[in-house]
Amino acid sequence: MKKLADSAAHSIAVAARQTRRERARANRSAVRAWPLGAAARIGPEVRTLAGTVVRVLARGRTRLLVETPDRRRYRVAPTLLIPA
């Protein structure tokens, strides 16, 4: 740990850790905003599922469990969903 603290990599590691924490915090608050049973569309960022209407089944810490009309289930980041 002492070597890392003295190196240039320390500041890079601290910045990466802070970015991960901020992204996780944002995802957790976005997860809480989606009520169970809500309908949503998957955004264009997910090319294979873009525009698919899904229903929110469950909440994880940073992801939502959603189900498509053909009963397939996916865990997706809440930022990828658009309210239907």
Give the amino acid at 8: A
State the residue range of the domain holding 43. Answer: 2-83
Consecutive 10-residue averages of pLDDT for the chain (84 residues): 67 91 89 95 92 96 94 94 93
Total domains present in the chain: 1
pLDDT for residue 62: 87
- Determine the pLDDT at residue 73: 97
Give residue 5's pLDDT.
Answer: 62
CATH of the domain at 73: 2.30.30
- How far apart, in whole angstroms, are the C-alpha atoms of residue 81 and residue 42? 5
Paired with 66 in beta bridges are: 56, 74
* Ordered DSSP codes for 29-75: HHHHHS-TT-EEEE-TTSTTTTT-EEEEEEE-SS-EEEE-TTS-EEE
